[in-house]
Amino acid sequence: QVQLVESGGGLVQPGESLRLSCAASGFTFSTHSMSWYRQAPGKEREFVASISPTGGSTNYAVSVKGRFTISRDNAKSTAFLQMNSLKPEDTAVYYCKASRTLYYWGQGTQVTVSS
């Protein structure tokens, strides 16, 4: 059974940091690209960042480039999203996605940035 479980969300003030984790099981993690998406209230889900199966290639949305870092630990079947200098507009539910020929989604974790 495929599972992606996000964790690490929470309520932080502007300028603070959070590290999200996505623990995977039920498929061969090391052969799948991993991505993070987010969805704010009333908005469509949007791409945040992605990383290749080996971790050698990453991509970021313009809005988060320089502030967020995606990484992965294939030995632990876990992907991460380090989020620094958080802004109120980063408030959203964050989802991880595993992709190869098929794709899988996690259930999401809430990130709220507010003073």
pLDDT in tens, 30-61: 999 999 999 999 999 999 999 999 999 999 99
> What pLDDT score does 50 carry?
98
Rg (C-alpha) for the chain, rounded Å, is 13
Q: What is the mean pLDDT of residues 81-103?
A: 97
pLDDT in tens, 69-91: 999 999 999 999 999 999 999 99
Q: Which two tokens stand for residue 33?
A: 């690209």
Which residues, listed in sequence order, are joined to residue 19 by a DSSP beta bridge? 82
Report CA 11 to chain centroid distance, whole Å: 16
> What pLDDT score does 16 carry?
98
